[in-house]
Amino acid sequence: MKKLATTLSLMVFMMTALFAQEKVQSIEKTGGAEMDFESEVIDYGTIPQNADGVRTFKFTNTGNEPLIISNAKGSCGCTVPTWPKKPINPGESGEIKVKYATNRLGPINKSITITSNAIDKTKVLRIKGNVIEKETTPVKKEEGMAPRAN
């Protein structure tokens, strides 16, 4: 009988602790700004060297307070973000533009870290793709010209 009472008490205690944690999590998420991005990854695909490296992340403030972005930082100097400096009101949209230095050949795999007053204080966006050497137009040889011997 004591084992049954102990087991039931332990189960009641665990259930109470479980429900208490769920309530705390829902309370934390009930107020504030919230960034909802159309996409958190932009794929440049395969692009030629020195092509336009500007891409745009579009988002909406789906929260109930104005969203203020305090910083946006690329993972290296070749990735430069620009962001709205004014607050984004609930229901309004905004854009974060990212310029990648396409003079660099090879794979693109970079991140942009956004810092704001949103419920999730930081958000990491990604860009990916591949920069290949720009094709050059071959020089057309004139017909009827034979190689000369020296």
Residue 74 lies in a domain: yes
Give the range of the structural domain holding residue 76, as residue numbers without chain letter: 35-132
Q: What is the band of 27 on the pLDDT scale with cuts at 50, 70, 90? A: very low
Q: Which residues contact 124 (CB under 8 A, 6 or more apart)?
A: 40, 111, 112, 113, 114
Distances in Å between the alpha carbon of 82 and those of 19, 36, 91? 42, 18, 21
Within a domain: 78? yes
CATH number of the domain at 91, please: 2.60.40.10
Percent of the chain at pLDDT above 70? Answer: 70
Compute the mean pLDDT over every residue in the chain, rounded to the nearest whole number.
84
**pLDDT tens-place string over residues 94-117:** 999 999 999 999 999 999 999 999
pTM of the model: 0.70
Q: Confirm whether 81 is domain-assigned.
A: yes
Residue pLDDT, tens place only, 44-98: 999 999 999 999 999 999 999 999 999 999 999 999 999 999 999 999 999 999 9
Q: How many domains does the chain have?
A: 1
30 falls within a domain: no
**How far apart, in whole angstroms, are the C-alpha atoms of residue 148 and residue 76?**
53
Residue 77 inside a domain? The answer is: yes
Q: Do the domain assignments include residue 141?
A: no
